[in-house]
Amino acid sequence: MIGGIMEAKDAVRLDRTNTAVVVDSTADLSQGLAADPNLSMVSLNVHFGEETFTDWVDIQPHEFYQRLKAADRLPTTSQPPAGAFIAEYTRLRSQFEFIFSIHLSAKLSGTFESASVAQAEVDGVTLIDSEMASAAVGLLARQVLEMIDRGTTKEEILAFADTYRREAGRLFLLSTLEYLQKGGRIGRASGLAGSLLNIKPLLTFEDGIVHPYKKVRGESKALAAVQEYFLEKTKPGVRYAVAVAHGDAPDKMEEVIEILHKTDREFRVVLKAEVGSVIGTYAGPGAVALFFVEE
Amino acid sequence: MGPSVAPVTVAGARLVVAGGHRALEARKQVVNDLNVYPVPDGDTGTNLLLTVRSIVDDVSRAPENLSRSELCDLIANAALMGARGNSGVILSQIVRGAMEALALLDDDRPLDVATVLRKATDTAYRAVRKPVEGTMLTVLREMTEAAESQPPGADIMGVLRSVVQAGWTSVENTPTLLKVLADAGVVDAGGYGLVVLAEGMIGADGDSPSAEAVALGSVQETDHPEHEPDTMYSYCTSFLLQGTHLDGPELETLLTPLGDSLLVVGSDTRVKVHVHTDEPGTVLALGLARGTLHQIEIENMREQTAARDARLRAQAGAPPVVGETQVIAVVAGGGVRKLFASIGAGPLVEGGQSMNPSAEEIMRAVALTEAPGVILLPNNKNIIMTAEQVAAMAGRPVGVVPARSMQAGLSAMVAFDPDRSLERNVEEMTQALSFVLTGEVTRAVRDSSIDGVEVTEGSFIGLVEGRVVASAADLQEVADAVAGELLDGTRELMTILVGDGESTHAAMQAAEHLRDRYQDVEFEIHDGGQPLYPLLMAAE
């Protein structure tokens, strides 16, 4: 029975012996990489005028933010060509039977499109559009790796990705909207930009693009709003995996973690990331992001 | 001969209203001077006068042949739309109640003053959320009681005179009811203005008609009223028809099916015709068949409307994003305007020097909004009632977030989200208001002993949440006193808007000085350009 065979294939047990995860550099997962043999990354590029850098490979955040401050024109970014994905998929397929390729929102970058072209050329690859960016992708990838660690199925992974897209917490604070706006990624938050009043915008992802969450004035109000969001989207007695990221603002990141600890919620910080050059191009310096999902 | 038959004719109404207007105009300054607060806005005399003027204007333009109930509607509507400031709004509700009662009375019975006044009183009291005795409301009520205590069949003029007399007595009594009046040694400004108005209205006969009044039978050269965009017809057509044995009523019958806003007035040798129609040619032909045409004007109102809308939109400022809800903010000052526009408010209504736009001006802004939900941000305590009146009359979902100052309004705007529903926005924005403490520095316009502070005319005064807290010749000293009360240690952010005028430089210096003094507080100092108030401050 054909139906039966299809089901059986999907129900194949996936684990570290046969499955790998690919992310792009916007997942901001740099630290996990070297450590994990089942994880690999394909880089986007950042361009400062005539110079091109490979995200997380030949430019690291520290240098990026320095260049950003000194630059008289904003940097631009470009997606990996399909060939880069084909190469990576092919390389991994020699070792693993199944590949899950997890990426930032297709509405924010042509990366997913490139990966799609590659996926058509190589067997055994399943694409996942996180509909978000930065450590949100990193957190998703990390949770998928944990599932693979324990042993899972394709069905389970796809179901989890679906839940993640719909329900995971996602909030980020930028110190300015300028980069987001000039980079054309401001999405539905355009109404927040251009304010002459010193507003701190809190943003989120919805339907794969940036949406406004709230506007506040004053640092302490911003932190209070983060805490409020966390409490609203979580329940007591449930455990959460939390990822936080910062762009040239490690102190702000620690303040966010601290404010979460002041609640009664059970969680552990599984990922503390630095925002890479590609995301940094749109977020600008001083950004902090928070993502979380039920464990 | 008094107006024993009340304004049932348009011409009669013009005389009565003109009389009231004239009386109020003559004593506008007296009423203004009765205002207790030494702050330079919220002038009762000006607001009452402007409200009455709207009625005068609308009645002067009214077609002669309106029925009693149509005329009452017109007057009530003119008052509601022309209402400015709290006193103007209360007056408009008084007029509304009076007109409702008047429309129901019998044509051939003498005017039932008591019924009309009682309805006016009830309507006015209902309109005010917390009625205070010792104000316009008390005076009106006591005038009503005087009318009700008259014997039935009494001479109308006599009744009206005793009503006015009761009004004066009531006004004299207001200091015994309101301590702030007694302390300032004045009677209530609104009550006083109301009786002046009433006196003018009943004294209207015997005076020569004012410029606004029109004698029966003469041709009126009106300057072209700006058209409301609600007509279904496209061409505003008007001309003067000259001939012999002209039959105005016959012409009117023939023109009636051709359009609306029809006006045919004149004599048997000169008839003025005005109509909104889609067939200007037919209308002209009908005229040509009866005489010669002069002063012919045909305007395409669609163009007029579109151009006007574009101009108003450009002036008012469209918001950057149109979603579920828009905010209409009342502003004064170029910098303040820019701040509100930059943070997503629009259209904006110009408040003017004394922050007292009419209900109509706010209504026009409402008409320009595209979003399904509209929020009004009055930004002045004198505009809150006007805004609530507009919300009640608008015929579409309009909410009011009761910001009492522009600087408080800015904080409310931070909580605004154009993609959220009207109700949620009103909730969030109103809550944001509760976290702001406001202060202001201005010049006193009169001597006053108020809130425990001695104020001399011309000195700087400092207010916190509308309460006078300091008065001195030196702006810095007053600014310091205000800041001292606002920055009580729990506030981390201070927003200062610097105003326009001779004190701008001193105000800017004072603001910078405050920034240096309060190191733990984040300061945002903006050029607001607002009139009359060198400093507007908000702490949160």
Read off the CATH number of the domain in which B327 is found: 3.40.50.510
* Residue A68 lies inside a defined structural domain of this protein: no
* Pick among A190, A192, A195, A211 to test the B interface (most B CBs inside 10 A): A195
Structure tokens at B497: 């808007």
Domain closes at, from B390, B413, B433: B433
Handedness of CA B55, B56, B61, B66 (dihedral sign): positive
Q: How far is C-alpha B331 from the geometric centre of its chain's CA atoms?
A: 15
Mean pLDDT, 10 residues at a time, chain B of 540 residues = 56 89 89 82 86 94 89 94 90 95 84 94 90 93 95 87 91 90 86 93 50 23 40 82 89 87 78 87 94 88 67 63 89 94 91 89 92 96 94 95 97 91 96 95 90 92 95 96 94 95 94 95 94 96
| B303–A contact, CB cutoff 8 A | no
| B247–A contact, CB cutoff 8 A | no
Q: B509 and B406 in contact (C-beta within 8 Å)?
A: no
Read off the CATH number of the domain in which A236 is found: 3.30.1180.10
A·B CB contacts under 8 A: 50
Domain closes at, from A166, A191, A219: A166
- Chain A residues touching residue B320 (CB < 8 angstroms): 190-191, 194
A214 and A140 in a common domain:
no
Q: B6 and B68 in contact (C-beta within 8 Å)?
A: no
Comparing CA positions, the residue from B389, B525, B300 lying closest to residue B80 is: B389
pLDDT for the residue B221 = 32
B174 and B40 in a common domain:
yes
Which chain A residue lies closest to B339 (C-alpha atoms)? A196
Q: A200 and A216 in contact (C-beta within 8 Å)?
A: yes
Residue type, B162: S
What is the radius of gyration, based on Cα positions, of chain B? 26
- Chain A residues touching residue B493 (CB < 8 angstroms): 217-218
- Residue B11: how many other CB atoms lie within 10 Å: 16
B137 and B16 in a common domain:
yes
Read off the CATH number of the domain in which B456 is found: 3.30.1180
A7 and A143 in a common domain:
yes
- Chain B residues touching residue A204 (CB < 8 angstroms): none
**Cα distance between residue A217 and residue B413, in whole Å:** 11
Structure tokens at B55: 């009625």
Rounded to a whole number, what is the largest CA-CA distance in chain A?
Answer: 67
- Chain A residues touching residue B419 (CB < 8 angstroms): 188, 212
Which one of B411, B492, B524 has the shortest CB-CB distance to A220? B492
pLDDT tens-digit map of A220-250: 889 999 999 999 999 999 999 999 999 999 9
A161 and A176 in a common domain:
no
Burial class (CB in 10 A: 0-12, 13-18, 19+), A207: exposed
Domain closes at, from A131, A166, A201: A166
* Residue B230 lies inside a defined structural domain of this protein: no
| B526–A contact, CB cutoff 8 A | yes
A159 and A245 in a common domain:
no
Domain closes at, from A166, A200, A223: A166
Bridge-based pairing state of the strands B453-455 and B460-464: unpaired
B333 and B298 in a common domain:
no
Q: Give strand pairing partners of B462.
A: B441, B470
CA distance B419 to chain A (A): 9
Q: How far is C-alpha B198 from the geometric centre of its chain's CA atoms?
A: 19
| B320–A contact, CB cutoff 8 A | yes
A137 and A38 in a common domain:
yes
CB contact under 8 A, A217 and B338: no
**Cα distance between residue B197 and residue B211, in whole Å:** 18
Q: At what angle do helices B384-393 and B359-367 cross, to 10 degrees?
A: 50
* Residue B188 lies inside a defined structural domain of this protein: yes
Determine the structural domain holding residue A199 and report its residue range: 167-294
* Residue B153 lies inside a defined structural domain of this protein: yes
B95 and B197 in a common domain:
yes
Residue A42 phi, psi dihedral angles, 5° rounding: -110, 130
Residue type, A156: E
Would residue B190 be called left, alpha or beta, if left means φ above 0 and alpha means ψ between -120 and 50 degrees?
alpha
Which one of A190, A196, A220 has the shortest CB-CB distance to B342? A196
- Chain B residues touching residue A198 (CB < 8 angstroms): 522, 524
Read off the CATH number of the domain in which B65 is found: 1.25.40.340
3-state secondary structure of A75: coil
B396 and B255 in a common domain:
no
Comparing CA positions, the residue from A152, A139, A165 lying closest to residue A295 is: A139
B323 and B276 in a common domain:
no
CB contact under 8 A, A217 and B339: no
Chain A residues 194-213 within an 8 A CB cutoff of chain B:
194-199, 212
Domain closes at, from B433, B458, B488: B433
B450 and B419 in a common domain:
no
Determine the structural domain holding residue B52 and report its residue range: 10-202
**Cα distance between residue B92 and residue B98, in whole Å:** 10
Structure tokens at A136: 């949100």
B196 and B153 in a common domain:
yes
CB contact under 8 A, B343 and A196: yes
The CB-side HSE value for B144 (13 A sphere, CA atoms) comes to 20
| B26–A contact, CB cutoff 8 A | no
**Cα distance between residue B96 and residue B119, in whole Å:** 9
CB contact under 8 A, A217 and B419: no
| B540–A contact, CB cutoff 8 A | yes
pLDDT for the residue B190 = 94
A86 and A22 in a common domain:
yes
Query: What is B49-70 written as a DSSP string?
Result: HHHHHHHHHHHHHS-TT--HHH
* Residue A200 lies inside a defined structural domain of this protein: yes
Count the domains in chain B: 4
A173 and A190 in a common domain:
yes
Count the domains in chain A: 2
CA distance B533 to chain A (A): 20
**Cα distance between residue B180 and residue B168, in whole Å:** 19
Structure tokens at B275: 């109509």
* Residue B218 lies inside a defined structural domain of this protein: no
Q: Which residues contact B416 (CB under 8 A, 6 or more apart)?
A: A215, B325, B327, B343, B344, B345, B375, B425, B428, B429
pLDDT for the residue B223 = 35
**Cα distance between residue A68 and residue A287, in whole Å:** 14
- Chain B residues touching residue A214 (CB < 8 angstroms): 417
Which chain A residue lies closest to B418 (C-alpha atoms)? A191
| A188–B contact, CB cutoff 8 A | yes
**Cα distance between residue B32 and residue B370, in whole Å:** 39
Domain closes at, from B433, B460, B479: B433
pLDDT tens, residue order, chain A (295 aa): 444 455 555 679 999 999 999 999 999 987 666 689 999 999 999 999 889 999 999 999 999 999 999 988 899 999 999 999 999 999 999 999 999 999 999 999 999 999 999 999 999 999 999 999 999 999 999 999 999 999 999 999 999 999 999 999 999 999 889 899 888 898 888 878 778 888 889 999 999 999 989 888 888 889 999 999 999 999 999 999 999 999 999 999 999 999 999 999 999 999 999 999 999 999 999 999 999 999 9
Average pLDDT in chain A: 92
CB contact under 8 A, B344 and A195: yes
- Whether the bond into A212 is cis, omega within 30 of 0: no
Comparing CA positions, the residue from A203, A190, A177 lying closest to residue A284 is: A177
**Cα distance between residue B440 and residue B496, in whole Å:** 9
- Model pTM score: 0.73
Read off the CATH number of the domain in which A152 is found: 3.40.50.10170
**Cα distance between residue B405 and residue B382, in whole Å:** 10
pLDDT for the residue B211 = 21
B427 and B293 in a common domain:
no
pLDDT for the residue A2 = 46
| A16–B contact, CB cutoff 8 A | no
Which one of A191, A199, A219 has the shortest CB-CB distance to B321? A191
**Cα distance between residue A15 and residue A156, in whole Å:** 12
pLDDT for the residue B304 = 63
**Cα distance between residue B213 and residue B17, in whole Å:** 9
Q: Give strand pairing partners of B275.
A: B237
Would residue B140 be called left, alpha or beta, if left means φ above 0 and alpha means ψ between -120 and 50 degrees?
alpha
CB contact under 8 A, B343 and A197: yes
> At which residue do the structure tokens 């101009």 appear?
B311
pLDDT tens-digit map of A108-131: 999 999 999 999 999 999 999 999
B509 and B473 in a common domain:
yes
Q: B284 and B293 in contact (C-beta within 8 Å)?
A: yes
H or E segment to which residue A204 belongs: strand A200-206
Read off the CATH number of the domain in which B259 is found: 3.30.70
* Residue A257 lies inside a defined structural domain of this protein: yes
CB contact under 8 A, A219 and B492: yes
B267 and B172 in a common domain:
no
A266 and A145 in a common domain:
no
Q: What ipTM was assigned to the predicted interfaces of this complex?
A: 0.72
**Cα distance between residue B279 and residue B289, in whole Å:** 16
A38 and A136 in a common domain:
yes
Chain A residues 78-97 within an 8 A CB cutoff of chain B:
none
Q: B459 and B471 in contact (C-beta within 8 Å)?
A: yes
- Residue B176: how many other CB atoms lie within 10 Å: 11
* Pick among A186, A200, A206, A217 to test the B interface (most B CBs inside 10 A): A217
- Chain B residues touching residue A194 (CB < 8 angstroms): 320, 342
- Chain A residues touching residue B345 (CB < 8 angstroms): none
Burial class (CB in 10 A: 0-12, 13-18, 19+), B515: middle
CA distance B351 to chain A (A): 21
**Cα distance between residue B511 and residue B304, in whole Å:** 46
B294 and B404 in a common domain:
no
CA distance B344 to chain A (A): 7
Chain B residues 402-431 within an 8 A CB cutoff of chain A:
410-411, 414-419
Q: What is the 3-state secondary structure (H, E, C) of B65-105?
A: CCCHHHHHHHHHHHHHHHCEHHHHHHHHHHHHHHHHHHHHC
Comparing CA positions, the residue from B534, B524, B537 lying closest to residue B466 is: B537
A215 and A153 in a common domain:
no
Bridge-based pairing state of the strands B467-472 and B493-498: unpaired
A261 and A139 in a common domain:
no
A178 and A159 in a common domain:
no
- Chain A residues touching residue B342 (CB < 8 angstroms): 194-197
| B322–A contact, CB cutoff 8 A | no
